Amino acid sequence: MIKYLGSKRTLIPVLEQLAVASEAKTALDLFTGTTRVAQCFKKLGLFVTAVDTASYSLAFAKTWIEFDGGVGQLQLEAAIDDLNKTTPEAGYFTQEFCVNARYFQPENGEFIDAVRNRIETEFKNSWMYFPLLTALILAADRVDSTTGIQMAFLKSWASRSFNRMQLRDPKLLAGGGKAIQADAVSLVSGLAPVDLAYLDPPYNQHRYFTNYHIWETLVRWDAPESYGIARKRIDSRETQTKSPFNSRKAMPEALEKLVRDVNAETLILSYNNESWLSRDDLIDICRVKGSVELIEFDFKRYIGSQIGIYNKAGQRVGNPGQKRNLELMVIAGDPKRVAKMKLVGKHQS
Ligand SMILES: C[S@@+](CC[C@H](N)C(=O)[O-])C[C@H]1O[C@@H](n2cnc3c(N)ncnc32)[C@H](O)[C@@H]1O
């Protein structure tokens, strides 16, 4: 799985128990990101709908959530073996992200350019299109030279960047689901009712569109004009690429609307003690769903905040922050189910 800010990797065991306690058969993961949580629900046998605005999240959700694994696995492995034999050839990706910036070693950039072109020309109309894009992103992430966000690259090459890239089978999961690329707030009232909804919105001003602009471009393959040391996409400046959840002013109303409109028997809202809203605000927002409980977990902070972030000239452009953060989960809905789910929190503390 890729390095991703706010990824809920460490919360998966808890979320798994919460989903079991909720007795859900259908679930909605409204800010699916890496799809880790949606995958966890799918593995439990739930039919999951995974939503995110990011193009790379759509690729992940098509791969791991929408496709029923097992079908065509051999065909996918053969396509990956063949793509791994591709002759590298420099193009847009190499120029922008290996020459103008230093996110990847040029040899890997040339491989990415050539493989990505082949995926577009040979697989555009194939069911393997998204699984192959996912395999390419995962392979690139294993050899990048960043702390895990694409606003800056490391002063000296990361040792993993010297490895030569190879695509691996992303291992599809058995079961059913749906992948949707959309703004959660506008979409949610039009979705079918679900048993369990999981909400994990961004909780500060840091935008995923700019933090992961390289994955966005790799999936869109639209060679955008870019700017600055980080070579961000020019459309980062446009309103339609901005999320209300990155705005202190817009976020409370967006969250309130989302919670009100989501048609789910039980809801889990992940939040963080560094967010703009207090615990009481979160609880108040969730009251419209019925009974409300809050559980908290103490986790080590995202690594980028511990080691600091450096620009091309080797200057520190981000400082290490506090080393611990609290993950909060608000559970809301039918009182009996919420009471059962709350017991999961008790066993964790
Ligand atoms: C905290 S991350 C979710 C991480 C995810 N739970 C995981 O474990 O990988 C927040 C996600 O919200 C997405 N996002 C931001 N604004 C959104 C919006 N208005 N609608 C849907 N998704 C949005 C971002 O692209 C990002 O993937």
The minimum-distance atom of ligand 1 relative to the CA of 198 is 6
On the question of pLDDT at 349 being above 70, the answer is no
Q: Is the CB of 270 under 6 A from ligand 1?
A: no
Range in 67-76, 122-131, 203-212 the model is least confident about:
67-76
Which secondary-structure segment (H or E) carries 336?
helix 335-348
Q: Is any ligand 1 atom within 6 A of the Cβ of residue 207? A: no
Token pair 């995926």 in the structure block, residue: 119
Cα distance between residue 178 and residue 185, in whole Å: 18
Q: Specify the pLDDT at position 323.
A: 57
What would the mean pLDDT of 184-204 be, rounded to a whole number?
A: 96
Q: What is the pLDDT of residues 234-283, one digit of tens each?
A: 999 999 999 999 999 999 999 999 999 999 999 999 987 778 898 999 99
Which of 191-195, 217-221, 305-309 has the lowest average pLDDT? Answer: 305-309
Q: Which atom of ligand 1 is nearest to the CA of 244?
A: 19
Nearest CA to ligand 1 atom 3: 33
Query: What are the backbone angles phi and psi of residue 306, rounded to the nearest 5°?
Result: -90, -35
Element (H, E) at 318: strand 316-318
Give pLDDT, residue 181: 98
Locate 144 and state its tokens: 């990048």
SS3 93: helix
208 touches ligand 1 (CB under 6 Å): yes
Q: How far is the CA of 252 from the centre of ligand 1 (A)?
A: 16
Among 53, 188, 251, which is best to mutate for testing ligand 1, by the most ligand atoms less than 8 A from CB? 53
Distance CA 295, CA 345 (A): 6
Helices and strands (H, E) in the chain, number of each type: 14, 11
> Is there an atom of ligand 1 within 6 Å of 181 CB?
no
The predicted pLDDT at position 70 comes to 76
Dist. CA 81 → ligand 1 center (Å):
32
Q: Which residues of 296-335 are buried (b: 16+ CB within 10 A; e: fewer)?
A: eeeeeebebbeeebbbeeeeeebeeeeeebebbbbbbbbe
Cα–Cα distance for residue pair 27/52, rounded to 1 Å: 15
What does the pLDDT look like over 99-133, one tens digit per residue? 999 999 999 999 999 999 999 999 999 999 999 99
When mean pLDDT is compared over 91-105, 267-281, 307-321, the highest value belongs to: 91-105
Find out whether the beta carbon of 57 lies less than 6 Å from any atom of ligand 1.
yes
Measure 209 CA to ligand 1 centroid, in angstroms: 10
Comparing C-alpha atoms, which of 305, 343, 311 is closest to residue 323? 305
**pLDDT above 80: residue 300:** no
Q: Which domains does the chain have, with CATH numbers?
A: 1-55+177-207+244-349 (3.40.50.150), 70-172+209-242 (no CATH)
The H or E element spanning position 296 is: strand 291-300
Q: Give 35 Cα–ligand 1 centroid separation in angstroms.
A: 10
